[in-house]
């Protein structure tokens, strides 16, 4: 069964279907059903995935544009699989969470949900693409639905934020296009299939240039310091649901691209640029955290925490140890859940009070205990409390990095402490203390909102205590990736007892 | 030998598409002269459409039957693969533009009447119409067909004039904003006349150099004739000026915004698509066939022109507040991208084929999107005619989501977003350029694309993200012709963006033989 095409096909047909439904309420329910079907299909696919089988599974390859050597090629390895799972789990949650988002702006509800499903198809496609050109097409095309979601349904500064988002991403994408074309020309294989292109570029100087073309695009997408400035604007202005997909999934395409394309296609260049990338990541970790502490706007604060977290992910990718690589991949998934939960709960709060400013809140815990409680869990997950899933991944990234790069790992640990400050301080200012006059009548989470938050909290707890199912899938894929870069894990530097002592 | 001149051999079958279009144009003139006024429009429209369709069918038949390997009409006209492909493109685009013209609201009743005068009032009351628009257009199209097929500089010059003169007239016939339209016509005429003079002067100098106006003979002379370099270089440069003017490449782009803005929108659509295609075809033929051996000399110049054109087009478009001027600057920028394809020649036939087919594909993709975009412009109206000022487009997405959506789609295609035709057009040209070592040019092209994206996106922002003004423009219910144009253009933009292979194949086949020599 062509699983991946089916997944995308269902989403696209769903998107078309939504536009045909004449009733807004029905359109929402329809979207929810479609996204649940996609989720169910993905789970059915994931069950059949064998972690120690072929590297790429469920492969489909057809000629698309033979004149350019472009194929419609999709398949998943462990890394892509977990990221697709992340996407399709988040979409129904986002649908449920966005129930009233489109109405608030008095804009077409059906268009919003249609865009959401189009985006879902593209998110699946971008992680599944095994043809570099197809990847590029999805990489660029997925900007458009997100652009309209931010620009049409976002906050007061939405059009500024949407344009900034689009232009930054487009610029990065176009640089990547040059690299993609050059890769094709230099490889001279007449094909864009990823598997055919791996290892074709031997010349290190060429590798370096091409690496930069890809890397800058991914760094903007991720976003890595100093390419991050679009994110706080976009995330703060986007409706909560779109912000979740933006930070939770779309940005992961950047780090996924680094892992898949930058490392495997240009291994020598990747090694050459590692010190630079690690430095940028460490700066991002500390800078994002410090700036987050200073934010007065809740959504911007969460966006800056992501800048910090993406630093961890990028550092894990480029540390090039199995532990760090697997940790980074796991981090991509966990971050999607934890930041997703944070954005959604903050979104519920903002929807109730009509303000994003932290100063407008206080003592919410007393009036809306469930909201406050789930907010705390999501927050604690974001600061990597042991027992919650991000802890596992952050720990793996730090130990994995420490094996090879001691100083950056140590500095990055500071980020963990700063995380406690920004999360707990935000929690304290909004949820604790005397109840502010304006939030006295704030209702607690309703049934729909509980359904939104419950699965996320459950996932954070489950994978916090038992990340093995994910790691089983991720580990072989990461090992495979690193072996194609031909690095091996450094031996543990434990002093061996001398004989005769 | 004894004072008689041998009759030239003319391959009428090969030239049939041309002859059909010119024949119909002449019949059109006769209709103007003899048919009663109330019947004229009813005769012109089917005549024009049928002749364009017939010419298209003949061109297709010609292509199916086999592309000739030798120039026709004593070496004057080359009906080769690229020419047939360009003919097909121009004929479809012209057909589509005629459907827009059918809506006669675009044209003034009596061009001779002074704007705002009693005579103009009179013509409005009489419901007078300039039905000679149709034969004029057919002549222009005939010129567009001949121009890229001309294998001889004199024929090229004749074609250039046959193409341009009717256009000068058509530009001045807009019903609304008469002065702007007349100014556009005068500007276009004066500057166009200058550029024709440059072209003719260049032809003369090259004749002085090579002793022939035949492109093939000029190319042969490049290696054979010595000591005449001044003639050659000045001649080639002059010729280049004339050609670059027609495609609106910087620094000869100044006419484009004014003329595009002032002309009746269907004529703008025709110029922005058909004329551009024809002029690029001619430019290619002159530079590749006629001056191919001189490429070491013209390549750096065109390099510079391409960069300048992309930058000027992209940067100046940002400052525009008029939708038609913005599209004009966008067309300048696209001219720059296309020039990259002209430079992207290599050393082998395969490399040249890939450059040429990329260019041909780009022309088709861009032509359709442009016609569609201008068709949309005709539908957004204020009390005083089309709503040109960008601020009037605010909130169109709420008033008329479908139309705004289609227009946004065209703009995304101009910006070159994947899954639109514009992306593959740009890609095809860029790929050929990278393969032939013009990577720096591609990088500049990419940066220019990013800049250009800004103003396309700005229009989308206006349409979808801003609230409509209370007295905003209305969207007219499109006539069947206009609706068909928008539909066809949107369809072409989607299909070429999702499944471009068939047209790429066609372009590749057309480019395979390159130009006949």
Residue A123 has what pLDDT?
Answer: 92
Q: Residue A141: its chain B contacts at CB < 8 A?
A: 417-419
Percent of chain B with pLDDT over 70: 99
> What value does the mean pLDDT take over residues B40-57?
92
How many angstroms away from the CA of B354 is the closest CA of chain A?
10
Residue with tokens 């390895």: A77
What six digits make up the tokens of B168?
A: 């000068």
Flag if B430 and A171 touch (Cβ within 8 Å).
Answer: no
In this complex, which of A138, A159, A175 lies closest to B465 when CB atoms are compared? A159
What letter does residue B477 receive in the DSSP assignment? P
Model confidence pLDDT, tens digit, residues A238-256:
888 888 998 888 899 999 9
Interface of B with A (CB under 8 A): 357, 397-398, 401, 412, 415, 417-419, 423-424, 427-428, 430-431, 434-435, 439, 442-443, 446-447, 449-450, 453-454, 457-458, 460-461, 464-466, 499-501, 504-505, 508
Rounded Cα gap, residues B411 and A458, in angstroms: 44
Q: Residue A135: its chain B contacts at CB < 8 A?
A: none
Q: Which residues of B312-419 form beta strands (DSSP E)?
A: 380-382, 385-386
- Residue A406's contacts (CB-CB under 8 Å, 6 or more residues apart) are none
Nearest to A277 by CA among A319, A235, A244: A319
Q: Mean pLDDT for chain B?
A: 88
Q: Which residues of A168-273 form beta strands (DSSP E)?
A: none
Q: Residue A187: its chain B contacts at CB < 8 A?
A: none
What DSSP string describes B280-318? HHHHHIIIIIISGGGHHHHHHHHHHHHHHHHHHHHHHHH
Residue A155 has what pLDDT?
Answer: 78
Nearest to A107 by CA among A150, A72, A138: A150
Compute φ and ψ for A75, nearest 5 degrees.
-175, 165
- H-helix or E-strand containing B183? helix B178-210
User: B51-81 burial string, b = 16+ CB within 10 Å, else e?
Assistant: bbebbbebbeebbeeebbeebbbebbbbbbb
Residue A200 has what pLDDT?
Answer: 84
Rounded Cα gap, residues B273 and B248, in angstroms: 12
Asked if pLDDT for residue B73 goes beyond 90, the answer is no
Residue A27 has what pLDDT?
Answer: 87
Size of interface A-B (CB pairs under 8 A): 89
On the CB side of A14, CA atoms within 13 Å amount to 31
Model confidence pLDDT, tens digit, residues A170-224:
888 888 999 998 888 888 888 888 888 888 888 888 889 999 999 999 999 888 8
How many angstroms away from the CA of A428 is the closest CA of chain B?
36
Rounded Cα gap, residues B360 and B375, in angstroms: 23
Interface of A with B (CB under 8 A): 64-68, 107-108, 111, 136-138, 140-141, 143-144, 147-148, 151-152, 158-159, 162-163, 166-167, 170-171, 174-175, 177-178, 181-182, 184-185
Residue B260 has what pLDDT?
Answer: 92
Flag if A67 and B508 touch (Cβ within 8 Å).
Answer: yes
In this complex, which of B357, B419, B501 lies closest to A65 when CB atoms are compared? B501
- Packed helices B349-379 and B81-101: angle between N→C axes, nearest 10 degrees: 0
Rounded Cα gap, residues B400 and A179, in angstroms: 40
Q: Residue B436: its chain A contacts at CB < 8 A?
A: none
Q: Which residues are paired to A131 by β-bridges?
A: A193
Residue A351 has what pLDDT?
Answer: 84
What letter does residue A131 receive in the DSSP assignment? B
Q: Residue B447: its chain A contacts at CB < 8 A?
A: 174
Surface-to-core class of residue B24, CB atoms within 10 Å of its CB (0-12 exposed, 13-18 middle, 19+ buried): buried
Helix, strand counts (H, E) of chain A = 23, 2
In this complex, which of B419, B428, B505 lies closest to A137 when CB atoms are compared? B419
Residue B475 three-state SS? strand
Rounded Cα gap, residues B312 and B250, in angstroms: 7
Rounded Cα gap, residues B260 and B326, in angstroms: 10
On the CB side of B515, CA atoms within 13 Å amount to 27
Rounded Cα gap, residues B21 and B27, in angstroms: 10
Rounded Cα gap, residues A103 and A329, in angstroms: 36
What letter does residue A499 receive in the DSSP assignment? T
Residue B169 has what pLDDT?
Answer: 92
Asked if pLDDT for residue B137 goes beyond 60, the answer is yes
How many angstroms away from the CA of B460 is the closest CA of chain A?
9
- Residue A119's contacts (CB-CB under 8 Å, 6 or more residues apart) are A142, A145, A146, A149, A245
Q: Are strands B474-475 and B380-382 parallel, antiparallel or unpaired?
A: antiparallel
On the CB side of B379, CA atoms within 13 Å amount to 26
Residue A253 has what pLDDT?
Answer: 92
Nearest to A270 by CA among A53, A487, A429: A487
How many angstroms away from the CA of A177 is the closest CA of chain B?
8
Nearest to B386 by CA among B498, B494, B474, B291: B474
> Which of the pair, B245 or B5, is modelled with greater confidence?
B245
Residue A83 has what pLDDT?
Answer: 92
ipTM: 0.87
> Which of the pair, B222 or B55, is modelled with greater confidence?
B55
Q: Which residue of B has its CA nearest to A186?
A: B435
Rounded Cα gap, residues B496 and B483, in angstroms: 20
In this complex, which of A108, A137, A166 lies closest to B457 when CB atoms are compared? A166
- To probe the interface with B, which of A145, A174, A180 has the most B CB atoms within 10 Å? A174
Rounded Cα gap, residues A457 and A452, in angstroms: 9
- Residue A86's contacts (CB-CB under 8 Å, 6 or more residues apart) are A248, A249, A252, A332, A333, A336, A337
Nearest to B381 by CA among B458, B478, B259: B478
Q: How far is CA B308 from CA A158, B256, B302, in A?
A: 34, 15, 10
Q: Residue B439: its chain A contacts at CB < 8 A?
A: 178, 182
Q: Residue B424: its chain A contacts at CB < 8 A?
A: 65
Residue B357 three-state SS? helix
Nearest to A284 by CA among A260, A261, A321, A309: A309
In this complex, which of B357, B401, B458 lies closest to A108 when CB atoms are compared? B401
In this complex, which of B357, B446, B457 lies closest to A174 when CB atoms are compared? B446
Model confidence pLDDT, tens digit, residues B370-400:
999 999 988 888 777 777 888 888 888 888 8
Q: Residue B443: its chain A contacts at CB < 8 A?
A: 178
- H-helix or E-strand containing A278? helix A267-293
**What is the rounded end-to-end Cα distance, in angstroms, of chain B?**
29
Residue B104 has what pLDDT?
Answer: 64
Residue B78 has what pLDDT?
Answer: 87
Highest mean pLDDT among B38-42, B156-160, B211-215, B401-405: B156-160
Residue A360 has what pLDDT?
Answer: 84
Rounded Cα gap, residues B170 and B182, in angstroms: 10
Are A175 and A216 in contact, with CB atoms under 8 Å apart? yes
Rounded Cα gap, residues A2 and A7, in angstroms: 9
**Consecutive 10-residue averages of pLDDT for chain A (501 residues):** 89 89 85 92 90 84 87 90 92 87 71 90 92 92 89 83 88 89 85 86 88 92 87 87 88 91 89 91 92 89 90 90 90 90 88 83 84 89 86 89 88 88 88 81 84 90 88 87 77 54 44
Q: How far is CA A388 from CA A293, A486, B419, in A?
A: 22, 33, 41
In this complex, which of B453, B465, B500 lies closest to A170 when CB atoms are compared? B453
Q: Which residues are paired to B382 by β-bridges?
A: B385
What six digits make up the tokens of B233?
A: 């270089």
Q: Which residue of B has its CA nearest to A176?
A: B446
Q: Residue B419: its chain A contacts at CB < 8 A?
A: 137, 141
Residue A495 has what pLDDT?
Answer: 53
In this complex, which of A65, A167, A178 lies closest to B453 when CB atoms are compared? A167
Flag if A178 and B458 touch (Cβ within 8 Å).
Answer: no
What DSSP string describes A293-349? HT-SBHHHHHHHHHHHHHHHHHHHHHH--HHHHHHHHHHHHHHHHHHHHHHHHHHHH
Residue with tokens 């530009």: B171
Flag if A141 and B458 touch (Cβ within 8 Å).
Answer: no
Flag if A163 and B458 touch (Cβ within 8 Å).
Answer: yes
In three-state form (DSSP H/G/I as H, E/B as E, the rest C), the secondary structure along B427-449 is HHHHHHHHHCCCHHHHHHHHHHH
Q: What share of chain A is helix, strand, coil (3-state, %, to 5)?
A: 75, 5, 20
Residue A201 has what pLDDT?
Answer: 83
Nearest to A155 by CA among A303, A357, A356: A356
Q: Which residues are paired to A193 by β-bridges?
A: A131
In this complex, which of B431, B465, B499 lies closest to A158 when CB atoms are compared? B465
What six digits make up the tokens of A195?
A: 């598997």
How many angstroms away from the CA of B115 is the closest CA of chain A?
41
Asked if pLDDT for residue B418 goes beyond 50, the answer is yes
Flag if B454 and A163 touch (Cβ within 8 Å).
Answer: yes
Asked if pLDDT for residue B300 goes beyond 80, the answer is yes
Flag if A67 and B505 touch (Cβ within 8 Å).
Answer: yes
- Region label for A108, one of left (φ > 0), alpha (ψ between -120 and 50) or beta (otherwise): beta
Residue A91 has what pLDDT?
Answer: 92
- Packed helices B37-65 and B133-149: angle between N→C axes, nearest 10 degrees: 20
Surface-to-core class of residue A451, CB atoms within 10 Å of its CB (0-12 exposed, 13-18 middle, 19+ buried): middle
């Amino acid at each position: 069964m062509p699983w991946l095409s089916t997944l995308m096909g269902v989403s696209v047909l769903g998107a078309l279907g939504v536009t045909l439904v004449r009733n807004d309420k029905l359109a929402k329910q329809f979207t929810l059903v479609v996204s649940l079907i996609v989720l169910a299909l993905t789970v059915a696919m994931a069950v059949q995935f064998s972690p120690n089988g072929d590297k790429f599974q469920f492969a489909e390859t057809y000629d698309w544009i033979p004149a350019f050597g472009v194929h419609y090629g999709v398949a998943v390895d462990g890394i892509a699989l977990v990221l697709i799972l992340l996407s399709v789990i988040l979409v129904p949650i986002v649908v449920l969470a966005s129930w009233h988002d489109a109405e608030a702006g008095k804009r077409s509800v059906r268009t919003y949900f249609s865009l959401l499903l189009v985006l879902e198809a593209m998110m699946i496609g971008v992680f599944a693409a095994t043809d570099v050109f197809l990847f590029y097409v999805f990489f660029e095309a997925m900007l458009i639905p997100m652009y309209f979601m931010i620009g049409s349904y976002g906050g007061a500064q939405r059009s500024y934020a949407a344009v900034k988002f689009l232009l930054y991403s487009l610029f990065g994408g176009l640089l990547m296009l040059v690299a993609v074309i050059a890769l094709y020309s230099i490889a001279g294989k007449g094909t864009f299939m990823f598997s055919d292109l791996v290892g074709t570029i031997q010349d290190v100087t060429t590798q370096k240039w091409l690496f930069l073309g890809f890397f800058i695009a991914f760094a903007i997408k991720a976003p890595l310091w100093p390419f991050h400035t679009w994110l706080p604007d976009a995330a703060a202005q986007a409706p909560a649901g779109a912000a979740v997909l933006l930070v939770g999934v779309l940005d992961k395409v950047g780090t996924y691209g680094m892992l898949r394309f930058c490392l495997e296609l240009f291994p020598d260049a990747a090694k050459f640029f590692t010190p630079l990338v690690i430095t940028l990541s460490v700066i991002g970790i500390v800078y994002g955290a410090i700036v987050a502490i200073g934010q007065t706007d809740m959504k911007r604060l969460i966006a800056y925490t992501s800048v910090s977290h993406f630093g961890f992910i990028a550092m894990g990718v480029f540390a090039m140890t199995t532990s760090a690589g697997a940790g980074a991949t796991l981090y991509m998934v966990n971050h999607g859940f934890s930041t997703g939960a944070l954005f959604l709960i903050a979104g519920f709060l903002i929807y109730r009070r009509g303000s994003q400013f932290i100063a407008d809140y206080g003592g919410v815990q007393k009036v809306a205990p469930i909201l406050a409680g789930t907010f705390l869990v999501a927050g604690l997950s974001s600061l990597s409390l042991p027992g919650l899933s991000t802890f596992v991944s952050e720990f793996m990234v730090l130990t994995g990095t420490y094996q090879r790069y001691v100083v950056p790992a140590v500095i990055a640990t500071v980020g963990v402490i700063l995380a406690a400050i920004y999360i707990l301080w935000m929690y304290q200012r909004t949820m604790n203390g005397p109840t502010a006059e304006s939030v006295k009548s704030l209702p607690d989470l309703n049934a729909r909102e509980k359904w939104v938050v419950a699965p996320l909290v459950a996932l954070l707890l489950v994978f916090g205590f038992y990340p093995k199912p994910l790691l089983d899938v991720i580990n072989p894929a990461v090992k495979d990736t690193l072996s194609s870069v031909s690095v091996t894990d450094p031996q543990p530097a434990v002093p061996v007892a001398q004989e005769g002592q | 030998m004894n004072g008689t001149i041998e009759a030239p051999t003319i391959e009428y079958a090969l030239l049939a598409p041309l002859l059909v279009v010119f024949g119909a144009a002449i019949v059109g003139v006769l209709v103007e002269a003899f048919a009663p006024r109330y019947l004229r429009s009813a005769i012109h429209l089917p005549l024009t459409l049928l002749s364009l369709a017939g010419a298209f069918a003949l061109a297709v038949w010609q292509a199916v039957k086999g592309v000739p390997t030798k120039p026709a009409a004593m070496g004057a006209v080359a009906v080769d693969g690229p020419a047939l492909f360009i003919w097909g493109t121009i004929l479809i685009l012209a057909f589509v533009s005629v459907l827009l013209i059918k809506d006669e609201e675009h044209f003034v009743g009596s061009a001779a009447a002074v704007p705002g005068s009693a005579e103009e009032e009179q013509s409005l009351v009489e419901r007078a119409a300039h039905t000679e628009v149709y034969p004029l257009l057919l002549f222009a199209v005939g010129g567009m067909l001949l121009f890229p097929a001309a294998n001889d500089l004199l024929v090229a010059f004749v074609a250039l004039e046959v193409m341009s003169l009717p256009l000068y007239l058509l530009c001045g016939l807009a019903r609304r904003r008469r002065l702007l339209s007349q100014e556009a016509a005068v500007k276009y005429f004066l500057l166009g006349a200058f550029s024709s003079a440059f072209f003719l002067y260049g032809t003369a100098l090259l004749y002085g150099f090579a002793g022939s106006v035949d492109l093939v003979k000029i190319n042969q002379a490049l290696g054979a004739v010595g000591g005449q370099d001044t003639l050659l270089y000045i001649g080639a440069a002059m010729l280049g000026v004339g050609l670059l003017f027609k495609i609106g490449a910087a620094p000869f782009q100044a006419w484009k915004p004014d003329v595009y803005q002032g002309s009746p929108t269907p004529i703008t659509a025709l110029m922005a698509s058909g004329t551009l295609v024809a002029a690029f075809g001619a430019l290619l033929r002159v530079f590749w066939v006629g001056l191919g051996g001189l490429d070491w000399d013209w390549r750096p110049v065109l390099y510079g022109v391409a960069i300048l054109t992309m930058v000027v087009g992209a940067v100046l478009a940002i400052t525009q507040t008029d939708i038609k001027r913005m599209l004009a600057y966008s067309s300048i920028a696209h001219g720059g991208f296309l020039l990259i394809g002209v430079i992207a020649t290599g050393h082998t036939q395969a490399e040249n084929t890939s450059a040429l087919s990329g260019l041909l594909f780009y022309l088709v993709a861009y032509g359709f999107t442009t016609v569609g975009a201008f068709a949309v412009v005709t539908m957004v109206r204020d009390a005083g005619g089309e709503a040109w000022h960008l601020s009037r487009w605010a909130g169109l997405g709420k008033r008329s989501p479908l139309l705004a959506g289609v227009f946004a789609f065209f703009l995304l295609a101009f910006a070159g977003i994947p899954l639109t035709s514009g992306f593959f057009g740009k890609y095809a040209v860029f790929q050929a350029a990278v393969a032939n070592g013009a990577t720096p040019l591609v990088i500049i092209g990419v940066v220019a694309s990013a800049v250009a994206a800004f103003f396309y996106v700005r229009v989308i922002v206006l349409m979808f993200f801003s609230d409509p003004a209370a007295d905003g423009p209305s969207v007219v219910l499109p006539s069947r012709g206009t609706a068909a144009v928008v539909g066809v253009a949107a369809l072409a933009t989607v299909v070429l963006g999702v499944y471009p292979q068939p047209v790429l194949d066609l372009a590749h086949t057309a480019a395979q033989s390159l130009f006949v020599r």
